[in-house]
Structure 1
Amino acid sequence: PHKIPAGKLGYVDMRPFAVANYQKQHLDCLICLGGGGTQKNALRLMKEGLNVVTLPKTIDNDVWGTDVTFGFDTAMAIATEAIDRLHSTAESHHRIIVVEIMGHNAGWLALGAGVAGGADVILIPEIPYDIEKVAEAVLHRSYVGKRFSIIAMSEGARAIQETAGAEPTAEETPHSEGAEAAPEPVRCQESVSMKLARRLEELTGLESRVTSLGHLQRGGSPTPTDRLLATRLGTSCAELVADGVYNVMVAVRGDECVPVPLEEVAGRCRTVPPDHPWIRSARLVGTSFGD
């Protein structure tokens, strides 16, 4: 609400209007569902005097303070199915296929779908990759008779050669849920996955293709797991509001839904730890992370 696009006027701060409407309606609490950007905006409204409770909803699974966010499992299922489907054409045509998956700052989605879908290479923001090592992994598969490779790549993944102090811009990461940049006109530009595919063709001599899943990951019918999770978080939220507990996010911790102070959550990102069990399992079955 602090930064609403208003055409030629630039941005307009709508917080005073939000506060006035909240008071006019005699509301007890504002419940906000969303990812990192939503948590930060909820904190801003809290500082304006509103009672706020938030729920962690994002396909990126990167909200700090909770074990999981609802929306993640559904998006992971969509990305996994896409990888499953792409195996057929990759194998029959002896191609490298780079699957670009959402995830600006955190690689949970590409990692989960990559492991579940049997990707041969997984590239995530938390592990900068060496393009030469990615090419080596692809060529090794070719040498042992596996003349195709599937690469699951987060949109925020970066090569070691590109990370020397450089931060990705909002322009480079148009799908990020937490981005607060102004809407940009549609334009053609080479994505990180296109750059990777082009370079791999040069290094390996193998034909490469790119599939960007884009906003397909953010819609559709939710999985039963997400439906159950959203129901649990929603009922826990209602109980907190009924008890007068405000200015918290309802988080999943183990088997419980617990309140976490919003000030501890907003502005922080939950990234994939380098020793996460999913990474360890992927490495044990021969998946390359390009490092």
Structure 2
Amino acid sequence: MPHWLGRSLALPSTRSSCRLGTIRSCPRGPSAASSPPLVVAARWFGKITAAKPPLAGARFPLASRTVPLPAGAISVTQYIGILTSGGDCPGLNAAIRGVGKAGMDTLGMELIGFRDGFRGLVQDRSLPIDSDTLSGILTDGGTILGTSRDKPHKMPIGGKMVDMTDAAVDTYKRHGLDAVVCIGGGGTQKNAMRLVEAGLNVVTLPKTIDNDIFGTDVSFGFDTALQIATEAIDRLHSTATSHDRVIVLETMGHRAGWLALGAGIAGGADVILLPEMPYHVEAVADAIKNRARKGKRFSIVAVAEGAMTVEESETVAKLVAAKDAASTREEKKKVSEDLNAFHQAHVDHTVRLTQQLEELTGLESRLTILGHLQRGGTPSAADRVLASRLGARCAALVADKQYGVMVAARGDHAVPVPLAEVAGKKKLVEPDHPWVKTARRLGTCLGDK
């Protein structure tokens, strides 16, 4: 059998009749540019034979010949690319599996993965995806495709940021893709929108442990991270109680405080500090001292990494206003440098907060930073179900040629939301959100009063 033809596919003996599928320019293996085309046809019993390889890039039905097929067999209908981008989180593999199993087993799609996010699409670094690829990955953390934070329009090349969108488009066309599925967070939604504007058929899935993607009730990855952060608070309670300590726990969340808020409520934190609600250090210290006066000489403080004091928030607001008002490129550059310097210094803000609380309360204080523990490990059952639901719905939307959308969780349903309504937006914690009201009713200090 010619090397370009690919492997034969054996099927059960129950048969029916169906025409072969379509011929596609489908590279085999990681070196897409040099690989010959494969024949992508209906799954059938026996071997496919041909006198010569098809023309590169050709896509047309094979005429006249029919072959025996098992009952319910599906001819290949679409050729789909898939990538994962941004920070990793639990549930990515479950989502890949959801798209793959629904697409290949039910809808007759062929899948190809791109390594390391948009970088793989730009550089044409691909790998084939079949049933063996998807086997056993449902419970695995991370992503079998790898990921990166690279953006097609800002790729680091030779020490400069270069717009490589055209290279991504070329890869898409070279593989003869019908659509590309992009799994990622807020940045991925923006980058995917750029690909839509460049003429590609795109469907996205929302993943992030921060739960800050606009347009969806929840994103997969959040539930697992919430469980991890909550368990950390549970474990810190015993040591805080034993030593009469104040323990500050830093969770992820640059701009959105969902993780700190949810874990703080679930774990019984005494103080919760969020990026959306600037806090007064004195108010936090007073809450801790009030507990001590009641005989509770320990406290747990859950802090999102992006939380700021009132003074810090005012500084950022002034810098942002100055940047918007700048009339020259030099002025904007100077303000941008000042903003970057501020954010660099803010990285250690929980260290300073812990020291300040010890000085203000007179209680021994310690800091725990969960960091990437929140991103790793086996996804929770809820995240597996959500990722599978959204992945399967994604495949159905691709089959229906509903492109330019993100698959969002809305109640019990998975619905398409136009990317134009999602890209560039954040879902932040509102001051009157039910979780915030719950925390206040429980007597939790939020640092703002």
For CA contacts below 8 A with separation 6 or more, give which structure has more relative contact order: 1
The Cα offsets for residues 138-195 of structure 1, whole Å up to 9 and x where unpaired, read as 0011110111110000001011121114169567768xxxxxxxxxxxxx98612111
**In structure 1, how many angstroms separate the alpha carbons of the residues matched to 2:310 and 2:287?**
16
Give the secondary structure class of the aligned counterpart of 2:407: strand
**In structure 1, how many angstroms separate the alpha carbons of the residues matched to 2:232 and 2:273?**
17
> What is aligned with 1:20?
170
Q: Is 1:125 the counterpart of 2:282 in the alignment? A: no
**In structure 2, how many angstroms separate the alpha carbons of the residues matched to 1:5 and 1:205?**
49
Q: Is 1:3 the counterpart of 2:154 in the alignment? A: yes
Larger radius of gyration: 2
Deviation at 1:3, TM superposition (A): 1.4
**In structure 2, how many angstroms separate the alpha carbons of the residues matched to 1:220 and 1:208?**
29
Deviation at 1:97, TM superposition (A): 0.7
The Cα offsets for residues 192-242 of structure 1, whole Å up to 9 and x where unpaired, read as 211111111111111111111111101110000000000100011011000
Q: Which amino acid counterpart does residue 72 of structure 1 have in structure 2?
A: F
Q: Which amino acid counterpart does residue 379 of structure 2 have in structure 1?
A: P
Q: Is 1:79 the counterpart of 2:229 in the alignment? A: yes
Give the secondary structure class of the aligned counterpart of 1:163: helix
Q: Percent identity?
A: 61
**In structure 2, how many angstroms separate the alpha carbons of the residues matched to 1:76 and 1:35?**
17
**In structure 1, how many angstroms separate the alpha carbons of the residues matched to 2:267 and 2:433?**
18
Q: Is 1:160 the counterpart of 2:307 in the alignment? A: no
Deviation at 1:281, TM superposition (A): 1.2
The Cα offsets for residues 27-68 of structure 1, whole Å up to 9 and x where unpaired, read as 011101111110010011111111110011000100000000
The alpha-carbon distance between structure 1 residues 65 and 190, as it changes in their structure 2 partners (threshold 3 A), is closer
Deviation at 1:12, TM superposition (A): 2.7
The Cα offsets for residues 108-132 of structure 1, whole Å up to 9 and x where unpaired, read as 0000011001100000011111111
> What is aligned with 2:388?
231
> What is aligned with 2:290?
140
Q: Is the 8 A contact 1:125 1:158 kept in 2?
A: yes
TM-score normalised by the chain length of structure 1: 0.91
Q: Which amino acid counterpart does residue 207 of structure 1 have in structure 2?
A: E
Q: CA RMSD in A?
A: 1.7
Paired residues for 1:1-291 under 5 Å: 1-6=152-157, 8-166=158-316, 191-291=348-448
Structure 1 range deviating more: 199-208 or 146-155: 199-208
**In structure 1, how many angstroms separate the alpha carbons of the residues matched to 2:399 and 2:341?**
42
**In structure 1, how many angstroms separate the alpha carbons of the residues matched to 2:265 and 2:391?**
30
Give the secondary structure class of the aligned counterpart of 1:259: strand
Give the secondary structure class of the aligned counterpart of 1:210: strand
**In structure 2, how many angstroms separate the alpha carbons of the residues matched to 1:11 and 1:202?**
45
The alpha-carbon distance between structure 1 residues 69 and 211, as it changes in their structure 2 partners (threshold 3 A), is same
Q: Which amino acid counterpart does residue 5 of structure 1 have in structure 2?
A: P
Structure 1 range deviating more: 196-205 or 55-64: 196-205
**In structure 1, how many angstroms separate the alpha carbons of the residues matched to 2:214 and 2:286?**
35
The Cα offsets for residues 219-270 of structure 1, whole Å up to 9 and x where unpaired, read as 1100000000001000110110000100000011111111000011000000
Deviation at 1:14, TM superposition (A): 2.1
Gapped regions of structure 1 (runs ≥ 5): 175-187
**In structure 1, how many angstroms separate the alpha carbons of the residues matched to 2:407 and 2:227?**
24
Q: Which amino acid counterpart does residue 373 of structure 2 have in structure 1?
A: L
The Cα offsets for residues 80-102 of structure 1, whole Å up to 9 and x where unpaired, read as 01111111111111111110100
Deviation at 1:10, TM superposition (A): 2.4
**In structure 1, how many angstroms separate the alpha carbons of the residues matched to 2:342 and 2:376?**
22
Give the secondary structure class of the aligned counterpart of 2:367: strand
Give the secondary structure class of the aligned counterpart of 2:316: coil
**In structure 2, how many angstroms separate the alpha carbons of the residues matched to 1:23 and 1:173?**
40
**In structure 1, how many angstroms separate the alpha carbons of the residues matched to 2:363 and 2:392?**
52
